[in-house]
Amino acid sequence: MRRWTVTAAAAVLAGAVVIAQGSGAQSAPQRRPDVRFLPTPDNVVDAMLDLAGVTAADVVYDLGSGDGRIPIAAARRFGARGVGIEIDPVLVRQSEENARKAGVDGLVRFVTEDLFRADIREATVVTLFLLPWMNIDLIPKLQSQLRPGARIVAHHFAMGDRWLPDETRDINGLEIHLWRITSSR
């Protein structure tokens, strides 16, 4: 019972993440978010980008981008291009404003779109802070759309035993996980 309670508490915590699931940049979402927005702490954002080895040559896609902090940080720190996929049009507008205030609106864009339907083939880095089942459901998309050399970094939740991470790091008690695409699938 105690283990279930801890697991349920972790799911509730992660359930505060907004999942990007809508239909297009200017349209209303096709369905409601699966979870609510919980921002990734700035120190974890920095650690995720460092673990992925982000450079100015990268295109960082954040699936469930919330307020846009990960693509914005990638643009500010490294000069990378960024794309945030988010279901909530209010958060997309907030992200656009945050990018403008950060002076990186020319490097990042935010789209109201279903993360399971979004075309991510342009990405060289994908970041996630989603529930475990969502990470697992994304495996086929990640493996089929990303090119060799692409990296995936997840905050908190891995992909179960379906796809073990290449590396896991502890950031002050919060885990981040890295996967690398090594071959065309």
Determine what percent of the chain is predicted with pLDDT higher than 90: 77
Q: Is the pLDDT of residue 138 over 50?
A: yes
Of the pLDDT bands very low, low, confident and very high (cuts 50, 70, 90), residue 41 is: very high
What's the confidence (pLDDT) of residue 142? 98
- List Cα–Cα distances, 129 to 34, 40, 103, in angstroms: 13, 8, 25
Give CA–CA dist 106/45, Å, rounded. Answer: 20
Is 80 exceeded by the pLDDT of residue 32?
no
Per-domain residue ranges of the chain = 2-180
Q: How far apart are CA 26 and CA 28, in angstroms?
A: 7
Widest distance between CA atoms in the chain: 50
pLDDT single digits (tens) 145-156: 999 999 999 999
**pTM beyond cutoff 0.85:** no
How are beta strands 59-63 and 151-155 bridged, if at all? Answer: unpaired
Residue 167's H or E segment, with its range, is: strand 167-171
Tell the burial category of 28 from Cβ atoms under 10 Å away from its Cβ (0-12, 13-18, 19+): exposed
DSSP state, 122?
A: T
Question: Rounded to whole angstroms, how far apart are CA atoms 117 and 135?
Answer: 14
- Determine whether domain 2-180 maps to CATH 3.40.50.150: yes
Q: Can you read off the two tokens belonging to residue 124?
A: 């060289």
Q: Please give the structure tokens belonging to residue 184.
A: 């065309």
Alpha-carbon span 31 to 53, nearest angstrom: 34
Which pLDDT score is estimated for 3?
42
Confidence of residue 35 (pLDDT cuts 50, 70, 90): low
Q: State the average pLDDT over residues 158-175.
A: 96
Q: Is the pLDDT of residue 82 over 90?
A: yes
Assess whether pLDDT exceeds 60 at residue 71: yes
pLDDT of 109 reads: 98
**Tokens 């909530």 belong to which residue?**
88
Given this model, what pLDDT does residue 27 score? 44
Task: Give residues with Cβ within 8 angstroms of 71, minimum separation 6.
Answer: 60, 61, 62, 65, 82, 83, 84, 95, 99, 108, 110
